[in-house]
Amino acid sequence: MPKRYYGRRRFLKILLISVILSLIFVVFFLRRQDIFLFSQFLYGLRFSYLNNSKEVSNHIILQPAPTTVPQIPLSSLKPLQKTQKGVLSSIKFINPVFLNLESESSNIIPIIVLSNASNIEARDAIRRTWGYDQLYQNNKIQIRVFFLVGIEDFMMKRIHAEQLLFDDVIQVHIPDMYSFIAYRELSAMLWVRSYLPRASFYIKTEDNVIINMKFIINKFLPTIERTTNKNIVIGWFGSEHSIPRGRYQKFINIVLPPSDFNLQYAMSLLYIVTSRASDRMLDEISHVNRIEHPGDPFVTGILRDVAHVQIKNLATSPENYSYKLSNETCGKALETNSKLLFCTSPLLIKSVDEYFKAWHILLSQN
């Protein structure tokens, strides 16, 4: 009797293990099927989004250019530059699978928005306000926004989904931390020179900014066009234009190398870099294996100076271009001064509604 009892227990144990293994196999198979179906769903959503985007109303100036869907694999998006060296060799990009820029890179003014991977709602708000595709120079040039995000393990699938839907998120293998801000700014520069080599300049900004695109297109771009073929960085220079980043920025500024001159670096929320300036700075940094001072002053200050890149200081320009760092809402700031190039406020990241409120103020002024 005991032998029969233990034999039955052994049989039930084996049966139970077999059932569990079968369930695990079924769950694994269904999970793979769900991932496949989810990807197909995203592709369907993407095509629906592109078709619907043609019906977007004229917000400020002109209708966005019709969006095409080039059917190309990711492998065709190869960097156009030589193999990178030094610091640049550690920068790797993951582009959206549908993105094809080679045929139109000379007709694009890229705006590169540095964004944290987790700020999905902020990116969506930018797309639906100032970040939609616009045209310039009698519809010959497209102004296009791209988001540069870093690596965050918990956001990988969501970033991939965002890439499938919008074609504007570029992922770089760099953590989303202020201590890597210089690497992220260099990544923006390298990406533009690699994938948009015929673009004469790019605009760098961040995702906590709302840009007055009408003023940028109608007033700002025409006045800087004559300098975009030069070796130059355009922005607001001077300590009074530095952006507070918290206690870590104070540490970065303390460890800056000693200098006999006042280091001039651009205010980080918006600056313009020409292709000639980019090439000089990228060539210089390719001989460096580690960035010792990776804060805001590095790219447009330390590196720019070593590479002998000139500056155009908008703070002293006769056009008197201005921006606003607001402790309140950007809507109030833009309502007070319709000639602001851009505005930023801590409220923008805390509540995406602030993007739309500020945007409605801009629309009411046009």
pLDDT 10s digits, 14-68 = 777 776 766 666 555 444 444 444 444 444 444 444 444 433 333 333 333 333 3
In contact, 200 and 124? CB cutoff 8 Å: no
The pLDDT value given to residue 178: 79
The yes-or-no verdict on residue 7 having pLDDT over 90 is: no
The pairing of strands 340-344 and 209-211 is: antiparallel
Domains of the chain: 74-319 (3.90.550)
Which has more confidence, 331 or 251?
331
3-state SS class at 72: coil
Spatial neighbors of 242 by CB under 8 A, at least 6 apart, are 265, 267, 296
Nearest to 186 by CA among 92, 101, 104: 92
The pLDDT value given to residue 116: 93
User: Would you place residue 179 in the very low, low, confident or very high pLDDT band (cuts 50, 70, 90)?
Assistant: confident
**Cα separation values, 351 from 147, 186, 193, 243, 252, Å:** 19, 29, 34, 20, 29
The yes-or-no verdict on residue 248 having pLDDT over 80 is: no
User: Would you place residue 300 in the very low, low, confident or very high pLDDT band (cuts 50, 70, 90)?
Assistant: very high
User: Would you place residue 150 in the very low, low, confident or very high pLDDT band (cuts 50, 70, 90)?
Assistant: very high
Least confident range from 43-57, 154-168, 209-223, 334-348: namely 43-57
Residue the block writes with tokens 């019709």: 66
Query: What percent of the chain lies above the pLDDT cut of 70?
Result: 72
User: Would you place residue 365 in the very low, low, confident or very high pLDDT band (cuts 50, 70, 90)?
Assistant: confident
What is the distance between the alpha carbons of residues 361 and 354, in angstroms, rounded to a whole number?
11
pLDDT 10s digits, 306-353 = 999 999 999 999 988 999 998 888 999 999 999 999 999 888 877 889
Average pLDDT value for residue range 227-234: 95
In contact, 355 and 348? CB cutoff 8 Å: yes
The pairing of strands 141-151 and 108-114 is: parallel
Structural element, H or E, at residue 26: helix 2-53
Mean pLDDT of the chain: 78
Spatial neighbors of 355 by CB under 8 A, at least 6 apart, are 122, 125, 126, 128, 129, 210, 348
Structural element, H or E, at residue 94: strand 93-94
**Cα separation values, 10 from 16, 17, 177, Å:** 10, 11, 55
DSSP 258-291: P-SS----B-TTEEEEEHHHHHHHHHHHTT-S--
The pLDDT value given to residue 33: 44
CA 28, distance to chain mean position in Å, is 35
The pLDDT value given to residue 152: 83
Q: CA angle 261-265-267, nearest 5°?
A: 145
3-state SS class at 36: helix
User: Would you place residue 104 in the very low, low, confident or very high pLDDT band (cuts 50, 70, 90)?
Assistant: low
Label residue 93 exposed, middle or buried (CB < 10 Å: 0-12, 13-18, 19+).
Answer: middle
The pLDDT value given to residue 304: 94
Spatial neighbors of 260 by CB under 8 A, at least 6 apart, are none
Both structure tokens of 39? 């990807």
What is the distance between the alpha carbons of residues 269 and 236, in angstroms, rounded to a whole number?
10
